[in-house]
Amino acid sequence: MTDDILVRVEGHAGFISLNRPSALHALTLPMVHAMTQALLAWRDDDAVTCVVIDHADGRGFCAGGDIAFLRNSALNDGGESGRKFFHDEYQLNHLLFTYPKPVVAFMDGITMGGGVGISQPARFRVATENTKFAMPETGIGLFPDVGGGWYLSRLEGRMGQFLALTGSRVAGAECLALGLATHYLPSSALAEAKARIAREGVERLDGILRTLSETPPASKIVEMLVQINRHFASDAFEDILASLEGDASAWAMKELATLRTKSPQTCKVALRQLSESLKLSDFAENMAMEYRIASRVIVRPDFAEGVRAVIVDKDNAPRWDPATAEAVTEDLIDAIFAALPAQDEWKPL
């Protein structure tokens, strides 16, 4: 176990509280293992009728995974320890997705990357006025993993492709409008919600959250759906860039400038990922696909370089390789998605 995860049973509910405030509760491998251990222990425990995932102190729900650890793996052990992290994290994601008891995730604050992976599988996903949801991986040469291919590809229209490529932040009200959240509560009501869930149990879960919900403000991103559907219609990254280039509006120019900062390789990977995921009927198949991608992308040049530019040196001037969309070949993307040797393929718990 680790002090970075606080586990307790209160009344009818098992509580898993992320407790790494100095890193906005970003997930480490010990945290992944502690969460998995708790969920497995409660799965057949009749006294625990539901599970609550939240954060303890500090800002943010969960800012992602341990990116520094993954970069160190890419640079020093050929990605071996990084692949272990992805493997076990994806098992946790799948365990949550298939969990037989209701899970409530309180996405109060920053919910990005790995935080998306532990909240989107939950049956109840609670957003607040503090929620900032994003999958920003294209900016560091990674890709929207932890089930991102599954969730984003199933949003209305081309919203998922837009979020995957741009890494745009989505407010709590917008999460509700898009279906990324099931309820919208003021943060001031969260303590009461958790206390009532513990006291009243699974039968009253939805009623408790509905009673404490409030009407969210208007969702700005939904108002842009027509433009998003038009400009992000293609699964070819070059087509999306060309479409935005042909629109002189301030919104199109802003999004084009954003895409110009992203890893062309990652953008092409994300578009293929969402397209392939939408064809799948089983979440485990999606996670196996994402593990193949992760195993290759972690040791590609763009990941270490993206983390250097955005997180280590903070110069925000990554030197992508390949540097342009046109230079990212279909053969390269095919190799990233190719099956692994049978003994290396990802499997659920």
Q: Which two tokens stand for residue 287?
A: 């996670």
Q: Residue 114 catalytic?
A: yes
3-state secondary structure of 43: helix
Q: Tell me the β-bridge partners of 111.
A: 62, 133
Annotation says 137 is catalytic: yes
Give the whole-angstrom CA distance, residue 148 versus residue 157.
16
Please report, for residues 160, 241, 259, the alpha-carbon distance to residue 235 in angstroms, rounded to integers and kept in the order given. 12, 11, 15
**Three-class SS of residue 249?**
coil
Strand-strand pairing, 110-112 and 124-127:
unpaired
**DSSP string across 102-167:** -EEEEE-SEEETHHHHHHTTSSEEEE-TT-EEE--GGGGT--S-TTHHHHHHTSSTTHHHHHHHH-
Tokens 């998922």 -> residue: 160
246 half-sphere exposure, CB direction, 13 A CA radius: 10
Packed helices 237-245 and 250-259: angle between N→C axes, nearest 10 degrees: 140
Active-site annotation holds for 145: yes
**Given the residues 114, 115, 139, 172, the one annotated as active site:** 114
Residue 247 and residue 256: Cα distance in Å, rounded?
A: 10
Dist. CA 108–CA 125, nearest whole Å? 10
Catalytic residue among 4, 54, 108, 145: 145
DSSP annotation of 322 reads S
Which of the residues 14, 60, 64, 65 is marked catalytic?
A: 65
Catalytic residue among 137, 255, 290, 305: 137
- Name the residue type at position 66: D
Strands 13-18 and 5-10: antiparallel
Active site residues: 65, 114, 137, 145
